């Protein structure tokens, strides 16, 4: 009787998880869990990815995210291991958290008394995930929508030189930015740039890939300016330190770092990833 009740509870909690998890497109599995000293220790990452893939999920490692997931981590949930093993028993729970670190689901406890660690974690992970077997999963696309930045109406800049003069640029909808004060000549160039941009229908475009872009901190991310100085792109920070969201002419893209080189890639862009020379 007790065993039947436990099985019913497992099924109910698993069903609740699937109902929640239908909102997410990906499961992210770290190559190294905080509970362990080494990457993929005892093949834990491999085992979790394999088991979840068998259940019909789209599972990716945290160092091999697809472009849309790099742009928006809210499309997926991240797996973690809550390891409470003792000297004679391997015990763990698998915890799934959303992009804000909020717990979506915690598995039942998986146990093993096998002495060999690799086999013990294999058995414990399998038992922890057993409650998720056989319940259908269908991604409904409810999570992960990137909120668009509210438009700011174009305004006329004042002639008074402030500590950080405000200029207005147009990129489909005008955006107000701050540019650090340099010299009088630099301020004059900024004013000329602002005048040109307000009457334009698109933001300045980087003419050559090799041009250096300078990253200037702003609220929520950075703005990239060239030596003119003109603002080329606005970068919005994400949970990943080397991944930023970029918007240009109504298109969403991602700026990311790979092998010590920065790249920019727009959703649906035919050109593919393009290198950028960014100085932070």
Q: What is the pLDDT of residues 220-270, one digit of tens each?
A: 788 888 888 788 888 888 877 788 888 777 777 888 888 888 888 877 666
Higher pLDDT, 263 or 191: 263
Neighbours of 128 (CB within 10 A): 23
**pLDDT above 80 (res 164):** no
Amino acid 154: pLDDT:
36
Q: How confident is the model at residue 143 (pLDDT cuts 50, 70, 90)?
A: low
Amino acid 95: pLDDT:
93
**pLDDT above 90 (res 167):** no
Percent of the chain with pLDDT over 70: 66
Amino acid 83: pLDDT:
94
| Integer Cα distance of 280 and 268 in angstroms | 28
Give the strand pairing for 76-83 and 26-29.
Answer: parallel
Min mean pLDDT across 17-31, 152-166, 200-214 is at: 152-166
| Integer Cα distance of 191 and 164 in angstroms | 13
Higher pLDDT, 11 or 95: 95
Amino acid 142: pLDDT:
59
**Backbone phi, then psi, for 131, in 5-degree steps?**
-65, -15
**pLDDT above 50 (res 186):** no
**pLDDT above 90 (res 78):** yes
SS3 96: strand
Q: What is the pLDDT of residues 82-125, one digit of tens each?
A: 999 988 899 999 999 999 899 888 888 999 999 999 999 999 99
- Domains, the chain, with CATH or none: 2-132 (3.40.50), 166-279 (no CATH)
Taking the whole predicted model, whether its pTM rises above 0.95 is answered as no
**252: nearest Cα among 67, 89, 29, 4:** 67
As a whole number, mean pLDDT of residues 59-78 equals 92
Amino acid 110: pLDDT:
93
As a whole number, mean pLDDT of residues 146-166 equals 39
């Amino acid at each position: 009787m007790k065993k039947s009740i436990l099985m019913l509870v497992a099924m109910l909690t698993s069903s609740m998880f699937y109902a929640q998890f239908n909102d997410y497109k990906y499961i992210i599995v770290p190559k190294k869990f905080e509970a362990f000293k080494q990457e993929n220790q005892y093949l834990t990452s491999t085992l979790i990815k394999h088991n979840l893939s068998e259940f019909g999920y789209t599972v990716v490692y945290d160092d091999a995210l697809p472009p849309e997931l790099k742009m928006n981590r809210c499309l997926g949930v991240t797996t973690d291991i809550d390891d409470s093993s003792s000297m004679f028993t391997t015990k763990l729970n698998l915890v799934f958290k959303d992009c804000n670190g909020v717990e979506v689901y915690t598995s039942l406890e998986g146990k093993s008394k096998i002495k060999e660690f690799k086999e013990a974690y294999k058995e414990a992970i399998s038992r922890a995930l057993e409650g998720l077997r056989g319940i259908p999963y269908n991604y409904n696309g409810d999570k992960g929508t990137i909120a668009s930045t509210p438009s700011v109406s174009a305004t006329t800049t004042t002639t008074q030189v402030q500590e950080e003069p405000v200029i207005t640029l147009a990129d489909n909808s005008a955006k107000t930015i701050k540019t650090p004060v340099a010299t009088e000549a630099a301020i004059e160039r900024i004013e000329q740039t602002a005048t040109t941009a307000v009457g334009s229908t698109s933001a300045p475009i980087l003419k050559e890939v090799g041009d250096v872009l300078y990253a200037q901190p702003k609220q929520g991310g950075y703005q990239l300016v060239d030596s003119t100085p003109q603002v080329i792109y606005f970068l919005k920070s994400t949970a990943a330190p080397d991944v930023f969201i970029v918007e240009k002419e109504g298109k969403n893209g991602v700026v990311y770092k790979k092998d010590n080189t920065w790249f920019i890639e727009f959703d649906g862009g035919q050109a593919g990833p393009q290198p950028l020379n960014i100085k932070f």
